[in-house]
Amino acid sequence: MSKITIEDAKPLIGGIVHVDRAHLTDAEVIEELKTALELRGVLVFPRLHATDEEQLAFTDAFGGRVNFNKGVPGSNASAEDVYKITLDRALNSEPDYVLGTFFWHVDGVTIDQSLPKATILSARTLSDAGGATEFANLYAAYEHLPEDEKRQYEGLEVIHTVEAAVRPVYGSPPQERLDRYRSMAAGMEQPLVWTHESGRKSLLIGTHADGIVGMPGPHARALITRLIQWAAQPQFVYRHQWQVGDMAVWDNQGLMHRVVPYTDEGRVMHRTSIGGHEKPGHVASDENKSRMFELS
């Protein structure tokens, strides 16, 4: 009998995994999960109740952990490779930054690095309201575009900035905070249509997308907004309503995600990250950034 079964959550996104956590790092289980992740984008393990050690062992077996925590505002240096996503100041010293997760994003897209391959999240304590996580499949969103739009978007370079990522949270962030964020995130030019090493194509968009090279600012932001709305259609989106002990892994390179807003400081999620080696973009030039707000 197979150690693992995976059922589709929705036609274009999501898989529900049934596996005993004792087999989570078995080689054949990992191989099956990697194949499923490529096809389904996000995999959910209901009520797995993995400990931090088990989550880290799975992270390593799946592709190797990377520690983004040292560069993430609010992380606790002693937390090592597990980053706690919570509004509780006792656990995360900069909960304002966590509020940015209310908006569609791809992790790590404004930073000068290979894009994190996958993110793993486990639910430790739930909020009394809100707190579901939504995932949008950016491969499927691209594949379902009309052919003329696909041609139109090929070759466009999008500028992603930390300012855009935090704008819905702060408006204008305090200067000290902005300087600190900028020291962590260079601002990147990334292809709007990313052709992955696998040959598949996806859109690379999110709230952090703030301009398009060679396009007037309002036109660029209108197009970005339209594409985010396109990709957020229900057929491309899986919403996970968490239960305590659930774990999810998603393809951070091919999905954008956000959380349904919550205020409960008791909500605690434990995140680990798998590094990637594909780096589709490069640091945005000051000249292109300075033109992002030109009107023509």
Q: Which stretch binds Fe ion (CB under 5 A): 55-63, 90-98, 101-109, 214-222?
A: 101-109
Shortest-Cβ-distance residue relative to Fe ion: 107
**CB of 153 or CB of 207, closer to Fe ion:** 207
Q: What tokens appear for 17 in the block?
A: 């995994």
**CB of 107 or CB of 246, closer to Fe ion:** 107
Q: How many residues bind to Fe ion according to rule CB under 5 A? A: 1
Local structure of 38: helix, strand or coil = helix
Q: Which stretch binds Fe ion (CB under 5 A): 48-56, 58-66, 102-110, 212-220?
A: 102-110
- How far apart CA 245 and CA 72 sit, in angstroms, is 24
- What size, in residues, is the chain? 296
**CB of 107 or CB of 163, closer to Fe ion:** 107
- How far apart CA 59 and CA 120 sit, in angstroms, is 7
Q: What tokens appear for 110 in the block?
A: 């404004």
Q: Which stretch binds Fe ion (CB under 5 A): 14-22, 89-97, 107-115, 166-174?
A: 107-115
**CB of 62 or CB of 83, closer to Fe ion:** 83
Q: How far is the CB of 175 from Fe ion (least distance, A)?
A: 25
Using CB atoms within 10 A of its CB, is residue 91 exposed (0-12), middle (13-18) or buried (19+)?
middle
**CB of 107 or CB of 210, closer to Fe ion:** 107
- How far apart CA 289 and CA 287 sit, in angstroms, is 5
Q: How far is the CB of 195 from Fe ion (least distance, A)?
A: 23
Extended beta strands in 138-267, E state = 157-160, 188-191, 193-195, 201-203, 209-212, 237-240, 247-251, 255-259
Does 107 interact with Fe ion (rule: CB under 5 A)? yes
Cα–Cα separations (whole angstroms), residue 149 to 141, 165, 210 = 12, 26, 20
Site for Fe ion in 256-295 (CB under 5 A): none
Binding site for Fe ion (CB under 5 A): 107
